[in-house]
Structure 1
């Protein structure tokens, strides 16, 4: 029973550690992409030739969606940073409380 219990906890901690590894990788990639934008933007595959005119409306719609998604992502990032900043100002229960005001009348 001890071996199974130890093995079960080892597996649980492995899974937990893998989750943290993924989050840390996302954070590292976020900083990397923000500091060094991807150098390989999309381009059509070789040999396709010009875009057929009947596909132009679809290509324009995709471009509009890309622009809208980029704007929504930028807004979400700003909101996330503001929320993180506000959350960082919330006092934890363990820290000594600071006075909200000082009564000088005494």
Structure 2
């Protein structure tokens, strides 16, 4: 078994911590979409920025990083679809509340018989 170069454990731990942070963020977004947020307060999160001087991703962490990326992409698509659904629902509600379906409304009603 070969000895690891000095700092190799720190490098691996730094990447693991960075992936932990990304995974927590995507989990929070997935919970938000699932409706789990209705029962509890949501904490505000800071925008993620990669730690400085990480170097290349260790090869053994690649599958985890790929899985997190796939979850991020799926969550982003689900958020976009939820936004579209919300816009449609708001537009429908606006029409119901105003009674305006977009067509012309009569100016008067002829009651003469």
TM-score interval, normalised by the smaller of the two chains: 0.3 to 0.5
- The TM-score with structure 2 as length reference comes to 0.43
Q: Scaled by the length of structure 1, what TM-score is found?
A: 0.46
